[in-house]
């Protein structure tokens, strides 16, 4: 069996705030809560999809500060340009908008928010990400 990506673990300063952010903006749900009083790990995944990698948020991290030129992010695809605009508007209202909605490359319309731990979270429509392929 070849290695298969199962999860991405990120240390965060506040588990609860990160969980709420990813529920609100990414429609992810808690699939396993191994935390007690804000310490430990919480696993989140897209609803109804047990085959894709999941996020593991683990306590004990420090909030990051990204420069506007830092393109480090987690990427999420959405169904339309209008959905990108909706997320950007909500992010602006919530004070977490990092990059305004725009066509940053031909055909790729996106915006970026910052999660409560300072991580970039990109929402895109038409982003030309290569599809995963089975390895020989």
Q: What is the pLDDT of residues 97-108, one digit of tens each?
A: 999 999 988 889
Same domain, 85 and 42: no
pLDDT in tens, 50-66: 567 789 999 999 999 98
This prediction's pTM:
0.87
Rounded to 5°, the CA angle 77-78-82 comes to 140
Same domain, 46 and 2: yes
Show the domain range for 69: 63-136
pLDDT over 60 at 134, yes or no: no
Same domain, 135 and 76: yes
- CA 120 – CA 71 distance, rounded (Å): 7
pLDDT over 60 at 133, yes or no: no
Specify the CATH number for the domain of residue 120. Answer: 3.10.180.10
Same domain, 5 and 41: yes
């Amino acid at each position: 069996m070849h290695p298969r990506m199962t999860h991405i673990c990120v240390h965060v300063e506040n588990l609860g705030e990160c969980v709420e952010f990813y529920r609100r903006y990414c429609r992810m749900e808690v699939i396993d809560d191994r935390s007690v009083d804000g310490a430990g790990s919480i696993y989140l995944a897209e609803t109804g999809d047990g085959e894709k990698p999941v996020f593991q948020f683990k306590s004990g991290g420090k909030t990051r500060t990204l420069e506007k030129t830092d393109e480090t992010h987690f990427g999420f695809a959405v169904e339309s340009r209008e959905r990108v605009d909706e997320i950007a508007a909500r992010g602006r209202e919530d004070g977490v908008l990092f990059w305004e909605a725009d066509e940053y490359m031909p055909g790729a319309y996106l915006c970026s928010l910052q999660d409560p731990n300072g991580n970039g979270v990109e929402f895109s429509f038409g982003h030309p990400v290569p599809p995963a392929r089975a390895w020989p």
